[in-house]
Amino acid sequence: MDIYFLGTNAGVPTLQRNVTSVALRLLEERRTMWLFDCGEGTQQQVLRSPLKLSKLEKIFITHLHGDHLFGLPGLLSSRAYQGGTSPLTVYGPAGLKQYIDMSLELSQSRINYELDVVEHGGGLIFEDEQFKVEAALLEHRIDSYGYRVTEKDKPGKLDAEAMAKYGIRPGPLYGKLKRGEPVELEDGRIVQPQEVLGEPKKGRIVTVLGDTRPCRNAVLLSEGANLVIHEATFLHELAETAHEYHHSTALQAAETAKAAQAGGLIMTHFSSRYKDMEQLQELLDEAKSVFPNSMLAEEHVLFQIPC
């Protein structure tokens, strides 16, 4: 479970950085990849990366501003040419389906895989036996959502000594107990999973926030997360500008992570005025003064999600 940034700039692409897109790789967990936002040029960034569109399972759009969305029609229409023929679900605010349908219809694009577009207004938007994804409205010029991805706890390891006590040998019963199912022995005894399993392995939480001013929902979505991805468009000396344009400063991103008691913070969505890493270092220094475990997003760099 790791994060790969395909775009980290705000507004428009520059020679140094592309516009917003973040990949959550779940190769070990479910052999798939999820994408958060799809700014212009995202599919070209994918070609320059170790990511495979054949593994793409879900796309989560935070809001309908172009720097988070304009790469979507192209990626959807060419995905199959890169081996992506499995079903794909795209989640996002109201209006997303109209945008996708119109773009594909007017360009006469053919989608030869199952494409499902789910518009939502927040709340629980996806859940299965491994993960759940919750969304909440942030504070931006248009409806902008943050997403909280929760990996469900995994069963603990089987205790060999406890298994031997019951005379259970490797085989189908192992699998049932590992899945949390009770089993019946030949002598009629019932063995409950908690009798032979160690402590469950705690699942990780990743929060990806769309464009936003500091707000309560950003903190709630980030509460106790192992990693928070938060926009940091400006240094705090431009706090008034950030407020006017419904964005956040690096300091405000750090304050959100601190208030949420998150494990780590990665800042992204940088203004084009910060052209190189030396200038971005000022944003990092500002954030670290409040939340020491702060990092800068870097394109084509893999970030492991800590346990």
What are residue 207's DSSP bridge partners?
Answer: 148, 228
Does the annotation flag 236 for ligand binding?
A: no
Does the annotation flag 300 for ligand binding?
A: no
Query: What token pair was written down for 285?
Result: 């220094």
In what order do the strands lie in the sheet containing 131-137?
Answer: 123-127, 131-137, 145-151, 205-209, 227-231, 265-268, 294-296
Does the annotation flag 247 for ligand binding?
A: no
Q: Side-chain half-sphere of 9: how many Cα atoms within 13 Å?
A: 21
Q: How far apart are CA 39 and CA 130, in angstroms?
A: 28
Query: What token pair was written down for 95?
Result: 């209006």
Does the annotation flag 68 for ligand binding?
A: yes
What are residue 265's DSSP bridge partners?
Answer: 228, 294
Q: How far apart are CA 97 and CA 175, in angstroms?
A: 42
Instruction: Establish whether 67 is a catalytic residue.
Output: yes
Closest CA to 38 of 16, 54, 23: 23
Q: Return the sign of the alpha-carbon dihedral for residues 123, 298, 57, 29.
A: negative
Does the annotation flag 67 for ligand binding?
A: yes
Choice among 2, 37, 67, 285 that is catalytic: 67
Which residues are part of a known binding site for Zn(2+)?
63, 65, 67-68, 140, 211, 269
Which residues are part of a known binding site?
63, 65, 67-68, 140, 211, 269
Q: Catalytic residues, which ones?
A: 67
